Amino acid sequence: MKPCGHTMGTPEFSPKEAVDFFADMGYEAIEFLCTDDYRCAVSPNAPPAAQAELAKQIRDRGLEPACLTPYITDLNHPDEEEYRKQKDLLKNAVEIAARIGFKYVRVYGGRLVEAEKRRSSLECMVAALRECASVAENNNVVLAVENHYNTLTVTASETMEVIRAANHPAVKVLYDQSNITQMGGEDYTEAIALQKEHIAHVHVKDIVFKTGAIQQQVGDVTHIDPSKRAVRSRVIGKGILPWPEIIDRLHGTGYRGYLSVEYGRKWYPEDLPPPEQGLRQSLEFLQHCLSKLK
């Protein structure tokens, strides 16, 4: 397994600065956000020449381009025109990923709907995934559906419902135990057991529950208003997630992919120290965990 830097943790940096930062620190790979409203991201509207330049910078610094993370939140949108736009956005992200060399594109599992609408909404999203997966497969890219709050894939079991329904080799799981835990889902042993044959990518982050908080509040897909969060973000190893055991369990399943440090300073900077401190501590913690594997 390889420690992977994630530009969610470096809002102060340009993309080039982030590449240099993670390479100098000793990370082995990089995950980039893909959005126009964040400095440290791949712009979905950038010309191919700019994408080629970034690809060269990543390669020249010895990093592997791991995952591209766009903010496409409505693959189950009920409006036909908006539904088409969402699919087109994902297809565009796949093509960007392929040009730069990213192996995976993070996918949100649609937007959470009322229980009585779940079946039809899930069918809509699965159809979108299949359509986009054909484009991904042709570009040697995998769509990694994340365990994520306020989507149709909050828990491991819900995510696997989508993976089985899509039934496509280019649709796999982005495993995020922190997201599952804060939403009251499966513990890591069950989550990994349910998803182990389909995990393509892993997000690593840590949390603590606020005093008296029991259940996370419903909010936006991308993030939750800090005042409504049931948790606070922490440096990896400083929270409640048993990452040594999780990493050992993943290793036992045969997972040898990336451990992407999703250091949430984009959304929750008040919870976390600067990247020079927190991302170094996170890397050292992961390296220690990996050194213990047999």
Taking CA atoms, 283 is separated from 148, 181, 250, in Å, by 23, 22, 18
Nearest to 221 by CA among 268, 152, 132, 165: 152
Q: What is the pLDDT of residue 217?
A: 55
Q: What is the pLDDT of residue 212?
A: 66
The string of DSSP letters for 194-220 reads HHTTTEEEEEE-EEEEPTT--SPPP--
Predicted structure pTM score: 0.95
Report the CATH number that the domain containing residue 49 is assigned in CATH: 3.20.20.150
pLDDT in tens, the chain (294 residues): 999 999 999 999 999 999 999 999 999 999 999 999 999 999 999 999 999 999 999 999 999 999 999 999 999 999 999 999 999 999 999 999 999 999 999 999 999 998 999 999 999 999 999 999 999 999 999 999 999 999 999 999 999 999 999 999 999 999 999 999 999 999 999 999 999 999 999 999 999 999 865 555 566 888 888 888 889 999 999 999 999 999 999 999 999 999 999 999 999 999 999 999 999 999 999 999 999 997
The amino acid at residue 251 is H
Name the residue with tokens 């060399």: 101
Question: What domain range includes position 10?
Answer: 2-291
Domains of the chain: total? 1
Question: Taking the C-alpha atoms of 265, 222, 174 and 105 in order, what is their torsion angle to the nearest 10 degrees?
Answer: -90
